[in-house]
Amino acid sequence: MTEKKKIVWLTGASSGIGKAIAEVFVANGILVAGSSRRIDLLNELTEKLGVLFLPIKMDVSDKSNVEEVYKKLSQEYEIVTLINNAGITSFKKIVDDSLDSIEQIIQTNLLGSVYTTKSVLPEMIERQSGTIINILSVVTQKIFTGSSAYSASKSGLLAFAKVVREELRDKNIRVINVSPGATATEIWPEKTLAKYSEKMMNAEAIAKLIFRIYEEKTNLVAEEIVLNPITGEL
């Protein structure tokens, strides 16, 4: 029986921190399956990164789509690490936000990560090894107005991940939560980037730190990591 190739499954790989993670991991010789709704951007990234990057069109908020992607991916590869990075927001106060927008944020940021986590866990438990890295946000630590749905989704994922971690203590599976502060990515409105980008963190720097965390193969695990610009909040 041919041994499966080991792969890292990264959601939200088409832009921002996800794209930077894909670039850093591939640069270090890691095979990455990058999923996103925007297959055109993934294909552009594939042209840059080459054969170590596998582009996958997937809507993480669609449970059946996630199950389908996992089934195909796991037939050929051993998913050693899942990085839950996909995320959206609206930057609106609750009175101005629509229920459709709120539901989509919760579906993508929280339930999407639940779907992917549930899909990879049986295999990781059977193998008695694996790593799940959740890219959260400092909204899990502090209150930011104009982000109620986003804060709810990320705080919900934080609580979910903490419970899952405790349930897996004896399974040799690492559950790592990374909560970045303001980072210069296209998730922000253009006016905000123009005004604050110099104070924001760099996505590549965050990706390099995540890779160092991924590389740790002893029984040491960095479970909760909060990242902020050295100058503090915007």
Residues 44-78 pLDDT 10s = 999 999 999 999 999 999 999 999 999 999 999 99
Report pLDDT for 231.
85
How far apart are the C-alpha atoms of 171 and 124, rounded to whole Å? 8
Task: Output the DSSP codes for 51-91.
Answer: GGEEEEE--TT-HHHHHHHHHHHHHHEEEEEEEE-------
Which pLDDT does position 128 carry in this prediction? 97
**Cβ-contact 199, 234 below 8 angstroms:** yes
Instruction: Name the nearest CA neighbour of 87 among 19, 143, 22.
Output: 19
Alpha-carbon distance 63 to 117, whole Å? 11
The confidence score (pLDDT) of residue 36 equals 97
Task: List Cβ neighbours of 123 (8 Å cut-off, separation of 6 or more).
Answer: 74, 78, 79, 130
pLDDT of residue 144: 87
Q: What is the pLDDT of residue 157?
A: 98
pLDDT band at 1 (very low <50, low <70, confident <90, very high): low
DSSP secondary structure, 125-146, as one string: HHHT-EEEEEE--GGGTS--TT
Identify the pLDDT of residue 115: 98
Domain ranges of the chain: 5-227
DSSP H or E segment with residue 34: strand 32-36
**Where residue 105 falls among pLDDT bands split at 50, 70, 90?**
very high
Give the three-state DSSP class for 65: helix
User: Taking all residues of the chain, what is their mean pLDDT, rounded to a whole number?
Assistant: 94
Q: Are 128 and 172 in contact (CB under 8 A)?
A: yes
Span 4-47, pLDDT tens digits: 999 999 999 999 999 999 999 999 999 999 999 999 999 999 99
94-108 average pLDDT score: 96
Residue length of the chain: 234
Please determine, for residue 120, whether its predicted confidence score (pLDDT) is greater than 80.
Answer: yes
Which residues are designated catalytic? 150
| C-alpha–C-alpha distance, residues 7 and 203, integer Å | 22
Q: How confident is the model at residue 182 (pLDDT cuts 50, 70, 90)?
A: confident
Identify whether the C-beta of residue 151 lies closer than 8 Å to the C-beta of residue 139. yes
In three-state secondary structure terms, 139 is: helix
- The pair of three-digit structure tokens given for residue 98, joined into one six-digit string: 């629509």
Instruction: Tell the CATH superfamily of the 5-227 domain.
Output: NAD(P)-binding Rossmann-like Domain (3.40.50.720)
Taking the CA of residue 136 as centre, how many other CA atoms within 13 Å lie in the half-sphere pointing to its CB?
30
